Amino acid sequence: MFSTVQGHRHTEMSTTYSVGANYKVFGCAVGCGIDASSYAMAYGKHFKKPAIGCAVIFGGEFALNIPMDL
């Protein structure tokens, strides 16, 4: 029952909360900061568009995903 932030999902960016009588936790998928046109990412040229952005965590209680303007 701990909030979790992970950032390796190239095509997803979201925050989901689970709330009960005595707890509030979140799971935050940050997205990525990759250059999809780089040689290193050539293997994913037929994948979905990357979710490029970041997340800000406020006091461990609230997560805000910020997608990059493309």
> How far is 57 from 68, CA to CA, in rounded Å?
17
* 18 three-state secondary structure: strand
**pTM for the model:** 0.77
Within 8 A by CB and 6+ apart from 11, the residues are 47, 48, 49, 50, 51
Parent domain of 17: 4-67
* Domain count of the fold of the chain: 1
What would the pLDDT profile of 11-55 be if each residue is shown by its tens digit? Answer: 889 999 999 999 999 999 998 888 888 888 888 788 888 888 889
Amino acid present at 16: T
